[in-house]
A and B are shown apart, each in its own frame.
Chain A
Amino acid sequence: MDITLNTIDKQFGQFKALDNIDLHIESGELIALLGPSGSGKTTLLRIIAGLEFADGGGVYFGGEDVVAIPLRKRQIGFVFQHYALFKHMTVRDNVSFGLRVRKGEIRPDKAAIRRRADELLDLVQLSELGDRYPHQLSGGQRQRVALARALAIEPKVLLLDEPFGALDAKVRKELRQWLRELHQKTGVTTLFVTHDQEEALELADRVVIMSGGKIAQVGSVDEVYERPASPLVFDFLGSTNRIPAKLQDDHLIVGGQQIVRYNGNQTGNVTIYVRPGDLRVAGTRDIGLDATVLNVQRTGPIVRATVEIPSTGQRLSVEMPHLHHDVKQLIPKQTLRLRLMQFSVFAAEPDLISESIIAPHLIGRERLRQA
């Protein structure tokens, strides 16, 4: 079932939670709503579910306006961050709840309900725990019960509100993988809300990045990661070095040093956005950014270093795979020349605190290929 959102507005008192949201989701897509807290992503999800009412705009499932359809007839599978399992029911009764409350002809008989519940428990790999109560399960197991319960009503749309937010990192990773597989098996149009960019990038077909009640960018994982439309999106999708620079004579200049060629046809103050992992050591004859290594840490397969630009005193972080040949040059107190492999250039320094996304515009994005 495809979903269309049409100019959705929502206001809580003085606070504009959602501002003119348009979005189309294809049938069978797996979509992440990504954004910092307060960006409106959960409100949007709850409006799609019908748990919240928009002040203006329309929600369409397969072309049909659903705003007037009561909650219990919408056939939406919803998974809450804190599971919202019925504590006094066994796992099996939780899963079969949506079938047991049906009335008349559409209610399957007892044996069929039980069979369906067991099938779903099988699907979420909990077939042996049907007689337990929710409190006897771990967090990850509870969330899988919640999913099975949501799937029992054969939902047209599956909505998940920070589904892995309350779980620890390892369980989270496992569940992500598993949700991805489940989505491939069932093909239900799925939206999930998250503030974890790694989760969004790993799971989703497309990512909707929200900020301040607006959609900052929509695109495939590659699109938003490789071509962030704004400093905010860039910043939100991973760790960032922001280097104030000057654009002049077809070069970016930091502290008087021409660090990289750049055909901007413009002159003025800019900010270079570069990820720690996109910095490498340049040869001595290449142009680049001179920096002094302050310290080097190895964290598993990644080596992280903090370096300082002597001319401006700014500190940058650098990351590279531990087997990369540049690693051996990361020696504390050593001065080296850094090459910016891939970066974005935005005009002026954006105001990240107020999350405004209008202020700076993208001037360009550059990617250097290794010779």
Chain B
Amino acid sequence: MTFTSRSALPGFHLALGYTLVYLSLIVLIPLAGVFFKATELGLAEIWAILRSERVLSALTLSFGTALIAAALNAVFGTLVAWVFVRYDFPGKRLFDAMIDLPFALPTAVAGIALTALYAGNGWVGQWLEPLGIKIAFTQVGIIIALLFIGLPFVVRTVEPVLRDMEKELEEAAALLGASRWQTIRLVLLPSLLPSLLTGFALAFARGVGEYGSVIFIAGNLPYVSEIAPLLIVIRLEEFDYTGATVVAAAMLVIAFVMLFVINGLQAWSNRHKVRNQSLALPVQGAKQ
């Protein structure tokens, strides 16, 4: 009759129908629209747009900086979460609240603040510039903006897992003779990996789509520091709607593939959690 087993809980058909309709309206149809619009052009024309140097460098920049920022956040965000979970210090609650600020802040505010800091005459920039380090209006600036934006995603996904991690696991490892480093590498990190990947994926996804904070600090030089979302906006302003959607569709595909890969990694890192109860033997199992 149906493709589900019978359940005592009512409302499955209604719930499924609602979910599909809602998902279609909010997510699927708009995304499909991007592809329809893009296919107004022939394959050769699409290919030509995608192969143009400006588009290629914008896409590379967007995904490259997002990857680097997400990776850095994965490392340092985990450290932040670790400190929050393991130690108590004055002002902890205040710092804890500050972690969420990038969630709530209009990204343009972050962009302006970061630009003011890192520009050649800014508080931080004026000390770095004489050393030959330029941050604002370069790709480094973009990464810093994305670090700011992505931090809470990593901290907030890793934190609960760290908190739930039994202290006993570390104690057991130490009693079995493991050094601190071995405990981290062999015991803690593997159990953290799934949530770390989730945080990484979220920070990455956010970084790819980030617009507001980046355009202030990036300087937006074509071929150098022009991100793909900005390029889409530029194309739209030139009334090149199809050109814009082609870039958009490309972003969509790349983002989808990358999230798919990360999901695969997650499933792999979670492989030991796959339930298989039929395998369990009774207690007086093997040898009698």
How far, in whole Å, are A99 and B190 apart by their CA atoms in the complex?
Answer: 19
- The distance from the CB of B249 to the nearest CB of chain A, in whole angstroms, is 39
Which of A84, A135, A137 interacts with B168 by CB under 8 Å?
A: A84
Q: Which of A122-130, A257-265, A314-322 contacts B (4 or more CB under 8 A)?
A: A122-130
- For chains A and B in complex, what number of residue pairs have CB atoms within 8 angstroms? 105
Contact with B along A68-80 (1 / 0, CB 8 A): 0001111111101
| A211-234 near B? 1/0 per residue, CB < 8 Å | 000000000000000000000000
- Determine the distance from Cα of A144 to Cα of B174 in the docked complex, in whole angstroms: 20
Contacts of B187 in A (CB 8 A): 86
Is residue A323 contacting chain B, with contact meaning CB distance below 8 A? no
Q: Chain B 260-282 against A: per-residue CB contact (8 Å), 1 yes, 0 no?
A: 00000000000011011101111
Q: Evaluate contact between A78 and B172: CB separation under 8 angstroms.
A: yes
B79 at the interface (CB under 8 A from A): no
How many B residues touch A, CB cutoff 8 Å? 31
Q: Is A298 an interface residue (CB 8 A)?
A: no
- List of B residues within 8 angstroms of A132 by Cβ: 279
B171 near A149 (CB under 8 angstroms)? no
Residue ID in chain B nearest A98 by CB atoms: B176
Task: Choose among A51, A87, A101, A149 the residue with the greatest number of B CB atoms under 10 Å from its CB.
Answer: A101
Interface string of B209-239 (1 = CB under 8 A from A): 0000000000000000000000000000000
A125–B286 touching, CB < 8 Å: yes
Is A348 an interface residue when CB atoms closer than 8 A count as contact? no
With a cutoff of 8 Å between Cβ atoms, the chain A residues found around residue B282 in the complex are 138
**Which residues of chain B are within 8 angstroms of A150 by Cβ–Cβ distance?**
175-176
Instruction: Indicate if A49 sits at the interface (CB-CB under 8 A).
Output: yes
B192 CB to closest chain A CB (Å) equals 10
- The answer to whether A122 touches B168, judged by C-beta atoms less than 8 angstroms apart, is no
Bound-complex Cα distance A78 to B172 (A): 7
Q: Is A66 an interface residue (CB 8 A)?
A: no
**Chain B 163-176 near chain A by CB (<8 Å), digits 1 or 0:** 00010110111111
Given A84-B166, A125-B286, A127-B287: A102 touches B281 (CB 8 Å cut-off): no
Q: How many of A's residues come within 8 Å of B, CB to CB?
A: 42
Instruction: Tell me the smallest distance from the CB of B6 to a CB of chain A, in Å.
Output: 27
Interface assignment of B130: CB less than 8 Å from any CB of chain A: no
Cβ-based interface call for B5 (8 A)? no
- Taking CB atoms and an 8 Å cut-off, the chain B residues in 190-204 that contact chain A are 190-191
Q: Indicate which residue in B177, B280, B286 contacts A101 across the interface (CB closer than 8 Å).
A: B177
Flag if A51 contacts B179 (CB, 8 Å): no
Residue A136, interface by CB 8 Å: yes
B260–chain A nearest beta-carbon distance, Å: 23
Task: Return B93 CB to nearest CB of chain A, in Å.
Answer: 22
Note all chain A residues with C-beta closer than 8 A to B286. Answer: 125-129
For B175, B190, B280, the residue with the greatest tally of chain A CB atoms inside 10 Å of its CB is B175
B287→A122 contact, CB < 8 A: yes
Chain A residues near B176: list those with CB within 8 A.
72, 97-98, 101, 149-150, 152-153
Is A182 part of the binding interface, using a Cβ–Cβ cutoff of 8 Å?
A: no
Q: Which of A300-343 contact B (CB under 8 A)?
A: none
Interchain CB contact (< 8 A) of B283 among A84, A87, A136, A140: A140
Which listed residue (B171, B272, B281) contacts A88, Cβ 8 A? B272
Given contacts A72-B179, A101-B186, A133-B272, contact A138 B171 (CB under 8 A): no
**What would 7 more interface pairs be, CB under 8 Å, given A72-B174, A86-B172, A102-B177?**
A49-B175, A122-B287, A128-B286, A129-B281, A133-B272, A136-B275, A136-B280
Can you list 27 A-B contacts (CB < 8 A)? Answer: A49-B175, A72-B179, A73-B177, A76-B175, A78-B175, A84-B166, A84-B168, A84-B169, A84-B172, A86-B173, A86-B187, A87-B272, A89-B272, A98-B176, A101-B177, A122-B287, A125-B286, A125-B287, A126-B285, A128-B281, A136-B275, A136-B277, A136-B279, A136-B280, A138-B283, A141-B281, A152-B176
Q: Top 7 closest A-B pairs, CB basis?
A: A98-B176, A84-B168, A133-B272, A101-B178, A140-B283, A84-B172, A88-B190
